[in-house]
Structure 1
Amino acid sequence: MTTHSLLQVWRDKKRVLTRFLSVVVLLFSPVLYAQETATDEQLDQVKQAIKKEKSTIKEVDQERERLLKQLQSDELAISQQTKSLRNTDKKLDNTQQTLRRLTEEKQQLTNKKQQQEALLAKQLRAAYSTGHHDYLKLILNQENPGKVQRTVSYYQYLNTARIKEIEAFQSTITQLNEVEQQQRSQQQQLAQLKKKQQVDKQALETGKQRREKTVNALNNQLMSAKQQLEKLEAEEESLVAALARIARLSKQDFSLSGLSSLRGKLNWPVKGRINRSFGSRKQGYLKWKGVLLAASSGKTISTIHHGVVLFSDWLKGYGLVTVIDHGDGYMSLYGHNQALLKSVGDRVETGEPIALVGQSGGQNQSALYFEIRHNGKAVNPKLWCR
Structure 2
Amino acid sequence: MFPGNPLFGKRPLAHRCIGLTAVLSAATLAMSGPAYAKPPTERKPPSAAATPEIAEKQADLGELRSRIEGLRKELSSSEESRADAGDRLRESERQISRLQRELHELNEQRSQSQRKLKSLEQQSQELGVTLSQQQAQLEKLLYKQYLRGTPDSLQLILNGDDPNQMARDLHYLSAIALTRAELMGEINATLDRKKALAADARERSAELAEIEAEQQKRHTELQKQREERKNLYAQISSKVNAQRKEIGNLQQNEKRLTNLIDRLSKILAAQAAQAAKAARAAEAARAAEAARAAAQQQKEKHRPAATEDKEVARAPSTTETARPRPVETENRYEPVASDGSFARQRGSLRLPVRGAVSGRFGTSREGGGTWRGLFIKAAPGGEVKAIANGRVVFSEWMRGFGNLLIVDHGDAYLSIYGNNDSLLKQVGQPVKGGETVATVGNSGGNPESGLYFELRHQGQPIDPMKWASLK
TM superposition score category, shorter chain reference = 0.7 to 0.9
Mapped to 2, the partners of 1:86 and 1:316 lie a distance apart of: 25
Q: What secondary structure sits across from 1:312 in the alignment?
A: strand
Mapped to 2, the partners of 1:85 and 1:192 lie a distance apart of: 13
Moved more, 182-191 or 127-136: 127-136
Amino acid at match of 1:370: F
Matched, 1:341 2:359: no
* Closer, same or farther: CA 257–129 of 1 in aligned 2, 3 Å: closer
* Closer, same or farther: CA 139–246 of 1 in aligned 2, 3 Å: farther
Structure 1 segment 157-236 matched on structure 2, within 5 A:
157-221=175-239, 228-236=246-254
Counterpart residue number, 2:386: 303
Counterpart residue number, 2:375: 292
Mapped to 2, the partners of 1:106 and 1:127 lie a distance apart of: 31
Q: Please provide the CA RMSD for this pair.
A: 2.7
Q: 1:366 aligns with which of 449, 457, 466?
A: 449
* Closer, same or farther: CA 270–225 of 1 in aligned 2, 3 Å: closer
Amino acid at match of 1:166: M
Q: 1:275 aligns with which of 354, 358, 369?
A: 358
Q: What secondary structure sits across from 1:229 in the alignment?
A: coil
* Closer, same or farther: CA 312–133 of 1 in aligned 2, 3 Å: farther
* Closer, same or farther: CA 86–142 of 1 in aligned 2, 3 Å: farther
Q: State whether residues 244 and 250 of structure 2, in contact with CA within 8 Å, keep that contact through their aligned partners in structure 1.
A: no
Mapped to 2, the partners of 1:218 and 1:287 lie a distance apart of: 26
Q: State whether residues 319 and 361 of structure 1, in contact with CA within 8 Å, keep that contact through their aligned partners in structure 2.
A: yes
Percent identity over the alignment is 29
1:207 CA drift (Å): 1.4
**Structure 2, gaps ≥5 residues long:** 1-79, 280-338
Matched, 1:248 2:266: yes
Q: Name the one with the larger helix percent.
A: 1
Mapped to 2, the partners of 1:321 and 1:133 lie a distance apart of: 87
Q: 1:351 aligns with which of 434, 437, 444?
A: 434
Counterpart residue number, 2:464: 381
Larger Rg: 1
Mapped to 2, the partners of 1:269 and 1:222 lie a distance apart of: 27
1:140 CA drift (Å): 5.0
Q: State whether residues 407 and 416 of structure 2, in contact with CA within 8 Å, keep that contact through their aligned partners in structure 1.
A: yes
Moved more, 250-259 or 226-235: 250-259
Q: State whether residues 250 and 367 of structure 2, in contact with CA within 8 Å, keep that contact through their aligned partners in structure 1.
A: no
Q: State whether residues 302 and 352 of structure 1, in contact with CA within 8 Å, keep that contact through their aligned partners in structure 2.
A: yes
Amino acid at match of 1:315: M
* Closer, same or farther: CA 334–224 of 1 in aligned 2, 3 Å: closer
Counterpart residue number, 2:285: none
Q: State whether residues 127 and 133 of structure 1, in contact with CA within 8 Å, keep that contact through their aligned partners in structure 2.
A: no
1:136 CA drift (Å): 5.5
* Closer, same or farther: CA 326–93 of 1 in aligned 2, 3 Å: closer
Counterpart residue number, 2:138: 120
Counterpart residue number, 1:3: none
**Structure 1, gaps ≥5 residues long:** 1-60
1:259 CA drift (Å): 4.2
Amino acid at match of 1:270: V
Mapped to 1, the partners of 2:392 and 2:256 lie a distance apart of: 19
Q: Deviations over 1:331-370 (max 9, x none)?
A: 2111111222222233333333322222211224321110
Q: Give the alignment's TM-score, normalised by structure 2.
A: 0.63
* Closer, same or farther: CA 74–372 of 1 in aligned 2, 3 Å: same
Q: State whether residues 257 and 327 of structure 1, in contact with CA within 8 Å, keep that contact through their aligned partners in structure 2.
A: no
Mapped to 1, the partners of 2:214 and 2:438 lie a distance apart of: 22
Counterpart residue number, 1:323: 406
* Closer, same or farther: CA 121–358 of 1 in aligned 2, 3 Å: same
1:224 CA drift (Å): 5.3
* Closer, same or farther: CA 259–163 of 1 in aligned 2, 3 Å: closer
1:241 CA drift (Å): 1.1
Q: State whether residues 64 and 218 of structure 1, in contact with CA within 8 Å, keep that contact through their aligned partners in structure 2.
A: no
Mapped to 2, the partners of 1:199 and 1:226 lie a distance apart of: 36
Mapped to 1, the partners of 2:240 and 2:207 lie a distance apart of: 51
Mapped to 2, the partners of 1:140 and 1:293 lie a distance apart of: 101
Structure 1 segment 22-61 matched on structure 2, within 5 A:
none
1:226 CA drift (Å): 9.2
Q: What secondary structure sits across from 1:308 in the alignment?
A: strand
Counterpart residue number, 1:107: 125
1:85 CA drift (Å): 0.9
* Closer, same or farther: CA 365–140 of 1 in aligned 2, 3 Å: farther
Q: Give the alignment's TM-score, normalised by structure 1.
A: 0.76
